A and B are shown apart, each in its own frame.
Chain A
Amino acid sequence: MADMEVKGGKGSPRVDLTPMVDLGFLLITFFMFTTTMSKPKTMEIQMPFKDDLMKDTDKSKVKESTAMTILLSKDHRIYYYYGIGSDPTKPPELKVTGFKDLDGIRDAIIAKKKEVQGLISGGQLEADDKLTIMVKPAENSTTDDLINVLDEMTINAVPIYAVVDITPVDLEFIAATEKANGIQ
């Protein structure tokens, strides 16, 4: 400091540019961060390939024991059952849940995943069989539900999942369960 005062006393025109450089670099850092951060994040989804000319034999078959069906309904409610529910003589047992941390859809997916792994190690399923989840959104579900449930697939590393159209049978399942539980 004393050094500077002596210089200043001599009437040197030199200005200390350090604060200005500091400010300059601060702003650079700010702009650098804002440029990279402004790129939005996305979630990539792959819909099942659909072609009207596709033959039934080309369609992939899902084994009943590896499958899980998730039905999205109104008020962010989720109905799910294990299996594909194609057997009309044995209607599946629907369970109701939601997007919550405890006993939510995540725990149901993890439970099914463990069951499939158990069946593979027990020899009932072949080693290349994988858990397959079908997501069927009903008309009164929202985009939030769809994105959240697809996100659960990523969170729980579900090997195969697909968004498919809801069937009238599934809607009947929902209606029957709602009636049984007295939900309007």
Chain B
Amino acid sequence: MPKVKLPRKGSHVDMTAMCDVAFLLLTFFMLATKFKPQEPVVIRTPASTSTMPIPNDYILLSLSKDGKVFFSIDNLNVREELITEISTAKGLNLNAQQIKAFKEGGSIGVPFNKLPSYLSLTPAQRNEYDKTAPGIPTDTTDSYDTNELAYWIKTARYANAKLRIAIKADGDAKYPEIQKVIATLGHQKVFRFNFITDGKGVPPGSALAQELATPKAK
């Protein structure tokens, strides 16, 4: 092998370009990070071994410890369509500012008749109000007059049929409360939905642990 003598380069590499890239990515991730939305009440979710991620487009139904139901959707376009529809159908006559407040707000936990006054509050006042909010009236019937949750779900799914349902229920909520939500979903022919849960370790030696240990056959 003939020796090829390369010219000796300096051991210092210019870091400026790398630094630029690093901070560009940093800016991207900082902006792309979605922070947790403001929650109306504190909910302690039960734990499960399931690791399924939350579906992309979903309706979030929160159930507090004392059985109050809150309704929320991520998608801003659906939110706008939903509130416009509700405003006309229920004769609420919401103005543009109230519609904007709903669109940019978080979970809703008030009956229809209190919605206009609730949406007129400032965001800080709304957060304060949410702590004592009555929740959306819910029962096990399919009547849209008494079961307002059914109306919210129906209208939201009318705006976007692909919406999945995620339930964030407090572990200490009594079964009849969660049963109301499940029965309401049943009347809307929703039989498959997701419970938001905390992570929990898989017990060793169980059937699930064995299933996870065996590599999946292609």
Contacts and interface: CB of A to CB of B under 8 A. Distances in A.
- A, B bound: yes
B176 A42 contact: no
Contact of A139 (B49, B50, B51, B176): B176
A156 B206 CA distance: 6
Nearest to B29: A31
A115 to B, nearest CB: 15
B172 A46 contact: no
B12 to A, nearest CB: 8
Interface stretch (B1-9, B84-92, B117-125, B189-197): B189-197
A72 B186 CA distance: 21
B42 interface: no
B178 to A, nearest CB: 5
A183 interface: no
A141 B175 contact: yes
B26 interface: yes
A42 B50 contact: yes
Interface stretch (B14-22, B103-111, B127-135, B148-156): B14-22
Most buried by A among B30, B46, B174: B46
23 contacts: A31-B30, A31-B33, A35-B29, A38-B33, A41-B199, A42-B54, A42-B166, A44-B52, A44-B195, A50-B186, A50-B191, A139-B175, A143-B63, A143-B178, A146-B178, A147-B169, A147-B195, A151-B48, A151-B49, A154-B50, A155-B49, A157-B207, A163-B182
Contact of A142 (B53, B171, B194, B203): B171
Interface string A141-168: 1111111101100111100000100000
Contacts of B36: 38
Nearest to A141: B175
Interface residues of A, number: 50
Given A41-B197, A42-B197, A44-B192, A148 B46 contact: yes
A31 B192 contact: no
Contacts of B176: 139
Contacts of A143: 46, 63, 169-175, 177-178
Interface of A: 3, 14, 16-18, 20-21, 24-25, 27-28, 31-32, 34-35, 38-50, 72, 101, 106, 137-148, 150-151, 154-157, 163
Nearest to B178: A143
A103 to B, nearest CB: 14
Given A17-B18, A42-B196, A154 B49 contact: yes
Contact of A21 (B15, B55, B186, B196): B15
A50 to B, nearest CB: 5
B33 A34 contact: yes
Given A41-B50, A140-B174, A143-B174, 19 more contacts: A24-B19, A35-B34, A38-B35, A40-B196, A41-B197, A42-B55, A42-B194, A42-B195, A42-B196, A44-B194, A46-B192, A50-B186, A50-B191, A140-B175, A143-B46, A147-B197, A150-B48, A151-B50, A155-B203
Contact of B211 (A41, A145, A148, A157): A157
Nearest to A43: B50
A35 B26 CA distance: 12
B15 A20 contact: yes
A43 B19 contact: no
B207 to A, nearest CB: 4
B52 A46 contact: no
B186 A47 contact: yes
A27 B200 CA distance: 28
A131 to B, nearest CB: 11
A21 B175 contact: no
A101 B26 CA distance: 45
B73 to A, nearest CB: 16
